[in-house]
Amino acid sequence: MRTLKLALAYDGTDFAGWQRQAGDRTVQALVEEALSRIDGKSVSVAGAGRTDAGVHAIGQVASVSVTNDLDPATLRRAVNASLPEDVRVVSVVVTHDGFDARRDARRKTYEYRILNGAMADPFIRRFAWHVPQPLNAAAMAHAAARLLGEHDFASFQSTGSSVVTTRRTIFESSLERLSLRSVNAASTAIPLSSVAGVPPELLSYRITGDGFLRHMVRAIVGTLVEIGRGRREAASIDALLAAGDRSRAGPTAPAHGLCLVNVEYEADATR
């Protein structure tokens, strides 16, 4: 028996999320089925982040114990041969016994993308929230920066979860403009660059924390968009953090704009 650390990427559009659910198509279930066929027995895979339905990942991490003796590169190829094209095991590393991708995680980074322009781009529609109304990106960035540090994020937590504390520490909370051409080569060939002479913008919100509450990132993004539309002041973030009341914050942004980018561990945690 040996423990493996897997890095995975997937397009979450057609999944009911990461976590195994009876009767639903989930990433965890497909990876477990593929590994079980190789191992010749049932295996259980633990993911670092339980991404919701429609949420994507380029840096999901999972841990699993197996009995097969395939070398990591061969095992990766074998698993991917059994998986559908919208999920891939990017790497396989043999790690120490007892490693748990979820419990041992120290920081996670998510990115949320917003396409701001009159027309939606069909080439990135599955990976960005289209907001046609003009947004004040500078105000959004100013508000995002106010989330840095340790705070009670109860105002950004959806119901339906039980946690010991709603306090989390945020190490990065930033908003930047991305080039549509650099994000998607197809947009170069078929540019949707101007409606009434106004080019669209692709905004990227990036957040790193020691943990996240249910729908926390999407609630933050929904609030930032309201600030960008001028419906709230950037400084209102402070009052929302103090309130601890979900009804005071903005709406939950759509799942398809969110991506799990990276999961960090202590230097020796995966040896």
How far is the C-alpha of 185 from the C-alpha of 241, rounded, in Å?
Answer: 40
How far is the C-alpha of 232 from the C-alpha of 102, rounded, in Å?
Answer: 35
Q: Estimate to the nearest angstrom the gap between the alpha carbon of 26 and the chain centroid.
A: 15
CB distance 140 to 112 below 8 Å:
no
Residue 52 designated active-site:
yes
Q: Estimate to the nearest angstrom the gap between the alpha carbon of 225 and the chain centroid.
A: 18
Beta pairing, strands 56-66 & 258-264: parallel
CB distance 193 to 123 below 8 Å:
no
Of 177, 167, 218, residue with least CA distance to 200: 177
Out of 11, 39, 52, 86, the active site residue is 52
Burial 11-43 (b: 16+ CB within 10 A, else e): bbeebbbbbbeeeeebbbbbbbebbbebbeeeb
Number of H helices, E strands in the chain: 7, 10
Residues taking part in catalysis:
52
